[in-house]
Amino acid sequence: MNKFKNYTYMFKHLIFCLAVVSVVACGAKPRINLDLEGLELKPTTQHEIIAKEVANLLENFSYKKVPMSDSLSNIVFNNLLEGVDQGKNYMLKSDVDDFQQFKNTISQDFKQGDLSSAFYIFNKYTNRYLQCMNFALEQIDAKHDFTKDESYTSFREKENWFTSEAELKDQWRKRVKYDLLNLRLTASDSSKVDEEKNKETLRNRYNNLISQAKKTNANDAFQMIMTALTDAVDPHTTYYNPSFAQAFNESMSNTLEGIGAQLQMENEMVTIKQIIAGGPAFKDKSLHINDRIVAVAQGNDGEFEDIIGWRLDAAVAKIKGKKGTVVKLKILPAGAELSAAPKIVKLTREKIILAEESAKRETKVIKGEDGKNYKIGVINLPKFYIDFEAVRRGDKDYKSTTRDVRLLLDSLKQDGVDAVLMDLRNNGGGSLQEAIELTGLFIDQGPVVQVRDSRNRVQVDSDEETGLAWDGPFGVMINRFSASASEIFAGAIQDYGRGIILGSTSYGKGTVQNAVDMSRFISATNKLLIKASGEADPDTPNGAPEFGQINITMGKFYRVTGSSTQHKGVSPDVVFPTQYSAEKFGESSEPSALPWDQIKPTKFAIVSSLKDINAQLEEIHKKRMQKSPAYQFLLEDIADFNKNETMPAISLNETKLKAEREKIRQKQRDRINKQLAFLGEPLWKEGQPQPKLDYDFVLDESANVLTDYIRLKK
C-alpha cells in the first residue's frame, strides 16, 4: 500500500526523537510566514540544502528522472495532506482551502530549498491536533448518555473535511464517549465499573498524546515532508534523516532485540507489519500481521499501560527490553472491529539473530490420489541473505542462502524425498546475487535475470556453474508478499519450465535501489554553511550518515523472457485464493509505481514445457478443494477479512455495543472450534485461554499438488 496509508500524525517507521535548533536560511524567494499559534517548527539550513539536493537527484539521476513540475506538486501536496491527517479527524475545510495556494508549486519549492509551505501545513495540522486533544480532555467529565442511539466513525478517509469547528467538536465528543464506553465494557465485572478510574485512564491517555505531540521537532516534520516528495516519484525511493538512516542500516544487519516484530503506526495504533523468523513472536505464533498492540505491561505482574496514539518510538521503547525479561501485550487481532475485546499475549524478550532467518527444512509424507505415500521435502526461505562482511574478510565459510539450501537439498536427498517444495511466502527479497545463485541449484547454467539501468543499458546476469543440486520434481510457493529476489527466482523457475509455481500473484516489485550517503552530494561550501549556521544536529547518532541517506531507484528487473516483474509480479500456475487484492496490496496499489513493460528476451534453453500438465494440476486441485473443509475455512477467513476492510460506524449505545461484542466473541469461538474439530483437537471452552491453531492448509495442499505432478509425469 501507499506509504502514507501507514501514517497517523507522524511518519512511517517513526523510531527516533531528535532536538533541533530552528533557524530559517536565506532562499531564492520570500518564504511563507511560519508563525502560528502554538507549535512553530521551522526548517534548518541543513534541511533546506538536503531538500534541494534530493530534488536534483530525483530530476537527474533516478530511474524515472521526474521533473519538479505542477503535476508532481499536486501529488506531493496530496501525499502531505494524507500523511498528516489521513483519517480527516483534525483539520477543517478552511485549513485545506488555505493550503491550496501551495498545491501547484510545492515540488518546485523543494528544488529551491524552500520548505516553508510544507512546514506551514505541518504546523497547522499539529496545532489542530493539540486543539482536538485539549477539547477531548474537557469532554471526559461531561455527561454522556450511553442509552442514546448514535454512532461514531473513527476513520473518515472517504468523508468530507469538517466545514465548521462545531462539526469537529462533535466528532471528538463522540470519540471521548466511545473511549469511555469501551473502558466500561472491558471491565472484567460489569457490575463493578469504576467510572472515576476509567476517566483517569482516559485522562492519562490524552495527556500522553498531548505530551508526545509537543515533543514533535523539526526533524520529525522534515522526515514526513521528504517522504511526501520521494513517494510521489517512486514508492521505493526514500530519504532517511541521519537517525532513521542508522536505524534502517541496523535493520539490515544480523541482530535485533525484543519480541521480533516490525511495527508501524496505523490509525493511531501500533500495528504488526512483519514477524521476524526465529524471534519470540515467531515461535509463540500468537501474533499475526496487522494485529494491533493497544497496551503494554512489564513483567508477569506489571500493570498495562495504554499506548494507543503514542509515537512509535515511545511505544517501541516499552515493547523492547533486555533478553530474558517478560513483556505482556494487549492485542486487537487483525480485522477485528474496535469494539472487540483484546487478547493478552505474554512473550519473553530475546536477542534475535537474523541469521535465524536461514533456510529450514522439513519432510512431509503425503498420501497421493493413487493411494501411495510420497515424501515431500519442504524448504522454507524467509529472505535471500548473505554475510557480506564475511565475504569481504575472505572467509571461505561465509553464510549465504545458496550454501544453506545446497546443504538442505543434500540432506533431503539422503532422506529419499520424491519432490522438493520451496516456500517463498512472505519472502520480501534480499540479495540479488543469491537469487541468481539459488536458481543455479535447479538449472544447469543459463541467464536468470536482466537488469536495465537509467541509461537503458541492459545487463544479463546468469548462473555460470555447471550441474544441478536438485533435478527432481520441484515446486515454488509464493503469495502477495513474495517480492523482489523471490520474484526473480520464481520467475526464472517458471520460464525454464523447471517447476510448478503455487499460491497467489506476487508483490510486483521489479525495481533496483541503491543506498547512497547524502554527504556525497553536499558540497564543501554547503557543509561550511551548515556548520556556520550553528544548526548541525548535535544529536546525530554515532556512525549515522551526517546528512542522511537516500535509497534511490536506479534500475529495473526483467525476466529472461523480457517481461518485467514490475507491477504484475509472477502469476502462479496453480492458484490459491487470497484476501490481499492487487488493488489494495502490492506494487499495483502504489500510484507512483513504475509501469510494467518488456524488453527483448535473452537466449535460454527451456527445460520442459509444463503448460499442459499445469492445466491438469489446476483442474485436480480445484476438484479436491471442493471437498475440503479446510478450503472452506480459508474462504471464510478471506470473506471476513474483506468485510472488515472498511471502518464501520460503531454504536455508542451501551446495550447494542455490548451485544455486538458478544456476537463477535461467540462467532470467533465457533469458528475456532470448527477448525479444532476438523483437526481432531479438544474444543475451546468458555474460561479457557484461546488455543493456538498450527495448521498450514496452503502448504499441505501444495504438497498434494506435487504428488499429482509426480503421478502425471510418470
What pLDDT is attached to residue 659?
92
DSSP 8-class letter at 523: -
SS3 209: helix
Answer whether 602's CB lies under 8 Å from 562's CB. yes
Answer whether 623's CB lies under 8 Å from 514's CB. no
Give residues with Cβ within 8 angstroms of 567, minimum separation 6.
508, 510, 587, 588, 593, 594, 595, 596
What pLDDT is attached to residue 251?
54
Give residues with Cβ within 8 angstroms of 127, minimum separation 6.
36, 37, 38, 39
Window from 237-251, 314-328, 566-580, 621-635 with minimum mean pLDDT: 237-251
**690-712: pLDDT as tens digits:** 888 778 889 999 999 999 999 99
Answer whether 86's CB lies under 8 Å from 46's CB. no
List C-alpha distances in Å: 471 to 360, 373, 444, 499: 20, 21, 9, 10
Q: Is the pLDDT of residue 166 over 80?
A: yes
Dist. CA 249–CA 240, nearest whole Å: 10
Strand 419-423 relative to strand 373-380, pairing: parallel
What pLDDT is attached to residue 250?
57
Angle, alpha carbons 120-123-126 (nearest 5°): 150
DSSP string across 99-168: HGGGTTTHHHHHHTT--HHHHHHHHHHHHHHHHHHHHHHHHTTS---TTS--EE-S--TTSPPBSSHHHH
Which residues are bridge partners to 269 per DSSP? Answer: 266
Q: Cell numbers at residue 673, please?
A: 472450534
Q: What average pLDDT does the chain have? A: 86
Answer whether 102's CB lies under 8 Å from 208's CB. no
Q: Where are the alpha helices (DSSP H) in 431-484?
A: 432-439
Chain centroid to CA 475: how far?
A: 27
The pLDDT confidence band at residue 20, using thresholds 50, 70 and 90, is very low
Give residues with Cβ within 8 angstroms of 455, minimum separation 6.
none
Quick count: other Cβ atoms within 10 Å of Cβ 647? 16
SS3 292: strand
Q: Name the residue type at position 137.
A: L
Higher pLDDT, 194 or 605: 605
Element (H, E) at 531: helix 524-533
Q: Is the pLDDT of residue 36 over 70?
A: no
What pLDDT is attached to residue 39?
66
506: nearest Cα among 536, 476, 530? 476
DSSP string across 619-636: HHHHHHHHT-HHHHHHHH
Dist. CA 160–CA 51, nearest whole Å: 32
List C-alpha distances in Å: 46 to 219, 223, 364, 552: 10, 13, 58, 20
Chain centroid to CA 577: how far?
A: 21
Dist. CA 183–CA 353, nearest whole Å: 39
Query: pTM of this prediction?
Result: 0.75
What pLDDT is attached to residue 167?
96
Higher pLDDT, 684 or 356: 684
Strand 500-503 relative to strand 574-575, pairing: parallel
Higher pLDDT, 234 or 668: 234
Window from 468-477, 515-524, 673-682 with minimum mean pLDDT: 673-682
The pLDDT confidence band at residue 169, using thresholds 50, 70 and 90, is very high
Strand 326-332 relative to strand 292-298, pairing: antiparallel
610: nearest Cα among 697, 527, 501, 467? 501
Q: Is the pLDDT of residue 21 over 80?
A: no
Residues in the chain: 714
**497-514: pLDDT as tens digits:** 999 999 999 999 999 888
The pLDDT confidence band at residue 566, using thresholds 50, 70 and 90, is very high
Dist. CA 661–CA 339, nearest whole Å: 6
**662-691: pLDDT as tens digits:** 888 888 888 888 888 888 889 988 878 888
**181-203: pLDDT as tens digits:** 999 987 755 557 788 999 999 99
Dist. CA 687–CA 144, nearest whole Å: 32
The pLDDT confidence band at residue 582, using thresholds 50, 70 and 90, is confident
Higher pLDDT, 33 or 449: 449
Angle, alpha carbons 315-161-36 (nearest 5°): 70
Which residues are bridge partners to 574 per DSSP? Answer: 502
Q: Is the pLDDT of residue 621 over 60?
A: yes
What pLDDT is attached to residue 668?
83
- Backbone φ and ψ for 392, nearest 5 degrees, come out as -65, -30
**249-287: pLDDT as tens digits:** 655 533 466 898 888 888 778 999 988 877 899 889 889
What is the mean pLDDT of the segment spanning 148-168?
Answer: 93
Q: Is the pLDDT of residue 11 over 70?
A: no
What pLDDT is attached to residue 694?
76
Answer whether 72's CB lies under 8 Å from 58's CB. no
**44-96: pLDDT as tens digits:** 999 999 999 999 999 999 999 999 999 999 999 999 999 999 899 999 999 99
What pLDDT is attached to residue 143?
94
Q: What is the largest CA-CA distance in the chain?
A: 81
- The percentage of residues in the chain with a pLDDT greater than 90, rounded to a whole number, is 58
With 0-12 CB in 10 A as exposed, 13-18 as middle and 19+ as buried, what is 457?
exposed
Which residues are bridge partners to 271 per DSSP? Answer: 264, 292
SS3 495: helix
Strand 292-298 relative to strand 269-275, pairing: antiparallel
What pLDDT is attached to residue 9?
26
Which residues are bridge partners to 421 per DSSP? Answer: 378, 475
Quick count: other Cβ atoms within 10 Å of Cβ 557? 23
Dist. CA 181–CA 178, nearest whole Å: 5
Most confident of 128-137, 233-242, 425-434: 128-137
What pLDDT is attached to residue 214?
85
Report the catalytic residues: 484, 495, 509
- The percentage of residues in the chain with a pLDDT greater than 70, rounded to a whole number, is 90
Q: Is the pLDDT of residue 24 over 50?
A: no
Instruction: Return the exposure string of 387-405: e unless at least 16 CB atoms fall within 10 Å of the residue's CB, then b.
Output: beeeeeeeeeeeebbbbbb
324: nearest Cα among 307, 348, 343, 289? 348
What pLDDT is attached to residue 15?
24
Higher pLDDT, 457 or 397: 457
Answer whether 234's CB lies under 8 Å from 64's CB. yes
Dist. CA 398–CA 391, nearest whole Å: 6
